[in-house]
């Protein structure tokens, strides 16, 4: 049951990143690339009917985490308390930026809320990437200092925003180091391209051509940062090389990531707009899947040699609770699918000016 729930949790989180990820990307594009009023409207038109529904996946994933892996939930939410509070505020200001921008038709009102939407989207993409970097790098479980655990619970930890070494190889690393920042920038660039592909898919006009031209420089920067982060990740203690030897089929994940990465570039020249969005979606899924598989069964690696890493087996709920929860999850998942099917059928195809009320 632990493995089943772990797959469900990963699925929910990946669905959130794919769906709300293009909203983050659209916000970044709104901040840096949408210069005219019509271009800004086009960005909002592309995400308007979908952005709030996409956040349902994050709430659902949080519920799944709480119900199936309560120890992991307690560990992560206490250890990353400050970054999570910051993320919460970014969510608030992103939503306010979307909803409040055009309540008053005056530049002094509109401009700050437009910036709020763009900057919050940028920082959310960056912070989620940094958070993922922390998970795959590991944390100082137990708060070990001088080979002595400072916390009574082995799953407890406290991570400062940064430490003096700024190194991911330190025993007591901070939230921010050069590795987690690199992963954060990978997330920003990936979601920017993903958001551009969504806008290209859902809208039309000169702005679409402009975004297609921007993908090449973004893609080059993304490839460079991926190579840096990949080399660093393979050198980390948390990287489990044996999992690929034991299960060679896992090599399919990085292979798909490699193919879809180049698909993102080639699709920018294609007239079939769905190819670009499909490529960036596959890249996100396979990229995250590759990282998660290389940690399995660990969910939070320990950077010290005293406290063992947290695994899906040491952090899960009791078997009875997992079995009962699975029934309710299936019911909730069906309801979510019905909602998303309805919304995407109503707003299928290109979104035009008639949808500007969003």
List, in sequence order, every beta strand (DSSP E) within the chain. 298-300, 310-311
The structure tokens listed for 230 are 């990949």
User: Would you call 310 helix, strand, or coil by DSSP?
Assistant: strand
**132 vs 124: CA distance, rounded Å:** 12
Cα angle vertex 218, ends 11, 231, to 5°?
65
Q: What pLDDT was estimated at residue 222? A: 95
pLDDT at 234: 85
pLDDT score, position 184: 95
* Contact residues for 110 (Cβ-Cβ < 8 A; gap 6+): 101, 102, 104
Instruction: Determine contact, residues 291/17, Cβ cutoff 8 Å.
Output: no
User: What letter does residue 2 receive in the DSSP assignment?
Assistant: H
pTM above 0.85, yes or no: yes
Q: What confidence score (pLDDT) does residue 224 get?
A: 95
Q: Which phi and psi angles does 209 have, rounded to 5°?
A: -60, -40
CB atoms within 10 A of CB 158: 15
- Predicted local distance difference test score (pLDDT) of residue 188: 97
HEC secondary structure over 84-146 = HHHHHHHHHHHHHHHHHCCCCCCHHHHHHHHHHHHHHHHHHHHHHHHHHHHHHHCECHHHCEC
- Calculate the alpha carbon distances from 287 to 30, 245, 261, 264 in Å: 26, 19, 10, 13
Q: Can you give the C-alpha Rg of the chain in angstroms?
A: 21
What phi and psi, each to the nearest 5 degrees, are found at residue 33? -110, -25
Six token digits for residue 317: 């709920």
> From CA 217, how far away is CA 196, in angstroms rounded?
13
Closest CA to 36 of 188, 209, 206: 206
Quick one: DSSP state of residue 353? G
How far does Cα 200 stand from its chain's mean position?
A: 21
- Given a contact cutoff of 8 angstroms between Cβ atoms, the answer to whether 154 and 308 are in contact is yes
Give the CA angle between residues 204, 207, 211 to the nearest 5°: 105
12 contacts: CB under 8 Å, gap ≥ 6? 57, 60, 61, 64
The tokens for 264 are 């993102």
Q: Looking at the chain, how many residues does it have? A: 358
Residue-by-residue pLDDT tens, the chain, 358 positions: 888 999 999 999 999 999 999 999 999 999 999 888 888 989 998 998 888 888 889 989 999 999 999 999 999 888 888 888 989 999 999 999 888 888 888 888 888 998 999 999 999 999 999 999 999 988 888 878 777 777 778 888 888 777 877 888 877 888 888 999 999 999 999 999 999 999 999 988 889 899 999 999 999 999 999 999 999 888 887 787 778 888 888 889 999 999 999 888 888 777 788 888 999 999 999 999 999 998 888 999 988 888 888 999 989 888 888 988 899 899 989 998 898 889 888 888 887 766 565 5
């Amino acid at each position: 049951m632990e493995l089943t729930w772990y797959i469900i949790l990963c699925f929910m989180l990946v669905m959130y990143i794919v769906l709300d990820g293009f909203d983050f990307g659209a916000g970044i594009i709104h901040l840096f690339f949408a210069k005219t009023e019509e271009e800004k409207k086009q960005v909002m038109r592309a995400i308007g009917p979908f952005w709030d529904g996409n956040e349902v996946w994050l709430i659902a994933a949080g519920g799944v985490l709480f119900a199936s892996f309560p120890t992991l939930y307690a560990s992560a939410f206490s250890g990353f308390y400050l970054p999570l509070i910051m993320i919460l505020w970014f969510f608030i200001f992103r939503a306010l930026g979307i909803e409040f921008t055009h309540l008053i038709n005056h530049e002094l009102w509109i401009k700050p809320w437009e910036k709020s939407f763009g900057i919050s989207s940028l920082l959310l993409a960056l912070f989620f990437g940094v958070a993922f970097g922390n998970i795959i790098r590991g944390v100082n479980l137990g708060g070990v200092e001088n080979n002595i655990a400072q916390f009574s619970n082995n799953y407890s930890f406290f991570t400062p925003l940064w430490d003096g070494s700024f190194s991911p190889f330190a025993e007591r690393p901070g939230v921010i180091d050069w590795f987690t920042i690199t992963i954060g920038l990978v997330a920003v660039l990936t979601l920017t391209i993903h958001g551009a592909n969504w806008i290209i898919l859902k809208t039309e006009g000169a702005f679409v051509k402009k975004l297609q031209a921007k993908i090449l420089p973004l893609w080059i920067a993304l490839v460079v940062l991926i190579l840096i982060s990949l080399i660093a990740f393979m050198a980390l203690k948390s990287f489990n090389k044996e999992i690929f030897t034991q299960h060679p089929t896992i090599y399919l994940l990085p292979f798909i990531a490699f193919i879809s990465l180049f698909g993102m570039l080639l699709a920018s020249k294609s007239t079939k707009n769905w190819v670009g969005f499909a490529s960036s979606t596959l890249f996100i899924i396979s990229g995250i899947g590759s990282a998660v598989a290389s940690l399995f069964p660990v969910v939070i690696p320990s950077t010290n040699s005293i406290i063992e890493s947290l695994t899906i087996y040491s952090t899960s709920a009791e078997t009875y609770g997992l079995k009962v929860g699975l029934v309710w999850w299936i019911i909730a998942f069906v309801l979510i699918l019905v909602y998303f099917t309805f919304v995407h059928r109503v707003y299928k195809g290109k979104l035009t000016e008639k949808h500007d009320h969003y």
